[in-house]
Amino acid sequence: MLVLESSEDRAKLEELLAKSVPESLRVYGSVFYINRGNPFNMEVLVDSWPDFKTVISKSQPMEMVNDLDIYTNAYFIFTKDPKDLAKILQTTNVINWTQCFQIEGLQKCLDDVIMAVAESKRVDVERDQALLFVRDIHLGDSDMKPNMNSEKTSTLQTSSQHKESRGGHPELPLSPLREADAELVNANWVNGGNVESLNFARRCIQKLPTLCMLDLEGKPISWYVMDQTAEMRMAYTIPEFRRRGLSTRLLESFMDTLCRQWHDFPFYFITGEDNKQAQGVARKVGLREAPCRYRRWICRTFAKSF
């Protein structure tokens, strides 16, 4: 596969991926970041250019040094041709099958391909799926054109430092999270609780937009942390502050801030099928359930399974 190194080519790819949302949204979000400062040191690969069939975004090789770090060793895939994807996964070194890693995508057709290749590579796979909530413009509006205005293409870290919002409350101020809050976030993240997830949470807080609500002592009581594909990845409200609408106000403020700065921002939310409360929050801020589902495959070689 080819690494797209030209900024002009990547801008064109972003425009093309926008025509395939929401199914391309996982890759589109990472390309959106890459084109605006690449705060997570990612790269995007295509099978051919400009007429591509498969796109894979991932961390640059220098980042994928811990064989057990599934958070950094992550691959985001969009394909127009599952047979082409199967050939790529079988015969190229795009994916390091000796590591523990995860593959994520929003297409049902990916499952048969990934499972078949994983079996041939003697890799254990844990798979799951969840609901996807997106903005109206990411429900397949072919007229949506990415905003490449240079005035709005500064790094996303600038947005993470925004401290004011119309959704705030005078006694409960809004603020970006601090690096020191990473342990709190990790301890309350359903997919966290280990050293690798702590490092990942810390990096997301350092590099990407975050927003939290503070109590009167200045401690976070509700927060959202975005990942390298623009997903609202880590969200939590301290139990004693729940059922007050804080999470809804916080998410609305976060979305308003980012989408006013970048009209085409790929703001989206993934949640479990049984998490009715989170689904309700997403709907209250105007996000809509997409027809496709989020899918993830956590892969471990037999020797590294645990």
256-295 pLDDT, tens digit per residue, is: 999 998 988 999 999 999 999 999 999 999 999 999 999 9
115-146 pLDDT, tens digit per residue, is: 999 999 999 999 999 999 999 989 865 444 44
Domains and CATH numbers, the chain: 2-130+295-304 (3.40.630.30), 150-293 (3.40.630.30)
Within 10 Å of residue 124's Cβ, how many Cβ atoms? 16
In angstroms, the CA 240 to CA 75 distance is: 37
Decide if 215 contacts 221 (C-beta within 8 A): yes
Decide if 78 contacts 229 (C-beta within 8 A): no
In angstroms, the CA 31 to CA 162 distance is: 23
47-63 pLDDT, tens digit per residue, is: 999 999 999 999 999 99
Decide if 54 contacts 84 (C-beta within 8 A): yes
0.85 cut: is pTM over it? yes
Within 10 Å of residue 161's Cβ, how many Cβ atoms? 10
User: What pLDDT is attached to residue 178?
Assistant: 97
* Average confidence score pLDDT of the chain: 89
Identity (one letter) of the amino acid at 276? K
User: What pLDDT is attached to residue 171?
Assistant: 67
Chain centre to alpha carbon of residue 50: 25
Burial (CB count <10 Å: 0-12, 13-18, 19+), residue 136? exposed
CA gyration radius for the chain?
A: 19
User: What pLDDT is attached to residue 301?
Assistant: 81
DSSP one-letter code for 4: -
User: What pLDDT is attached to residue 113?
Assistant: 96
In angstroms, the CA 211 to CA 283 distance is: 19
Instruction: Kindly list the distances between the CA atom of residue 37 and the CA atoms of 19, 152, 154, 155, 239, in Å, as whole numbers in the listed order.
Output: 23, 11, 7, 5, 36
DSSP H helices in the chain: 7-18, 25-34, 82-91, 110-120, 157-160, 182-187, 195-207, 246-261, 276-284
pLDDT classification of 302: cutoffs 50, 70, 90:
low
202-247 pLDDT, tens digit per residue, is: 999 999 999 999 998 999 999 999 999 999 999 999 999 998 889 9
